[in-house]
Amino acid sequence: MDIRALTTVHEFRQVFALERQVWGTTSDEDLVPILVLQVAARIGGVVLGAFEGTRLAGFAFSLPGIRDGRPYQWSHMVGVDAEFRNTGVGSRLKAEQRRLAMAAGLDLVAWTFDPLQSANAHMNVVKLGCVAREYIQDAYPASTSALHVGTATDRLVAEWWLRSDRVTTRFEGAAPGAPASRGDAAARLRGAVEANQARPGRDWLEPGGQDLSVDAPRLAVVIPSDFAEMQRRDLPLARAWRAATRKVFSTLLPRGFVVEDFVLEKPKRIGTYVLTKA
């Protein structure tokens, strides 16, 4: 697999076509236009492509930004062709994105992700070492994407602190004091107080009660592990989960809690965020 920065109009056209395939949109308004990709690549953004021969297997697109007076990269899109998923293409694109950002002297890459998409949460928090301290309600306009249609576009903001211990541990070997990225689920959840609950339903877990006043050094926020399918087959339940988790995250994060781990238990069809006080 050849991973490289893209610069030509032909390459940007390949990215645009893959955007449409990955997100399954019915409107080009939901996609990043070729012209924007071209301009971004000229002014400090990065458009990366992963190729098998001449075929584009995946891409990553980031824009330059300013946060608290310091430059960083905003990673707007990462997409992988369906035939190349679960092959490590996404991880390799992110690794190259990190390398280039660090070579440019940057410390941070950030992006949004749907907190109810457990695979993305696992990738971002566990594999890459991101943290999240900001929750945005209705982050984007209503989408025609098959991945998003029907539910509010609420998002967590992933902060990828490229030189931190928790990130370098995952990419460059062990670092003292870095949080565990794998291991026994029970051990990683030990001592975390539940901020919400899930109860068994007919086909999926259903949202249970919440305790928005809960306060402890470590909190647990549970989500179902198959939200994308739920959106397709039981939209009212998907909307109920969005409303429930919106209340939890929009209450706890402003109180100083930070997402620092995510435990995915596929046999139980559940994922659990672990929040700690900043």
pLDDT digits (tens, 9 = 90+) for 50-83: 999 999 999 999 999 999 999 999 999 999 999 9
| Mean per-residue pLDDT, 240-262 | 98
Q: State the Cα–Cα distance between residues 56 and 246, nearest whole angstrom.
A: 36
CA distance 171 to 166: 9
Q: What is the mean pLDDT of residues 248-267?
A: 97
**259: which 2 tokens?**
């997402």
Asked if the model's pLDDT at residue 7 lies above 60, the reply is yes
**Does the structure show a pLDDT above 60 at 263?**
yes
The pLDDT of residue 274 is above 50: yes
For 191-215, how does the pLDDT look when each residue is reduced to its tens digit (9 = 90+)? Answer: 999 999 999 999 999 999 999 999 9
Which residue blocks in the chain are alpha helix, DSSP H? 9-23, 34-42, 89-103, 118-121, 165-172, 185-189, 227-233, 235-252
Among 73, 64, 59, 66, smallest CA distance to 31 is for 59
Q: Say which residue, 24 or 121, is predicted with more confidence.
A: 121
256 closest CA partner among 121, 140, 167, 131: 131
- What is the pLDDT at residue 177? 46
Query: CA 133 to CA 249: how far, in whole Å?
Result: 9
Among 161, 135, 167, 170, residue whose Cα is nearest residue 72: 161
Does pLDDT of 11 surpass 50?
yes
List own/partner pairs for 212-216 with CB under 8 A and 24 or more apart. Answer: 212/247, 212/248, 212/251, 212/252, 215/255, 216/192
Average pLDDT estimate for 154-160: 98
* pLDDT tens for each residue of 162-197: 999 999 999 886 544 445 455 688 899 999 999 999
Q: What is the pLDDT of residues 81-126, one digit of tens each?
A: 999 988 999 999 999 999 999 999 999 999 999 999 999 999 999 9
Amino acid at 93: L
pLDDT of residue 176: 46
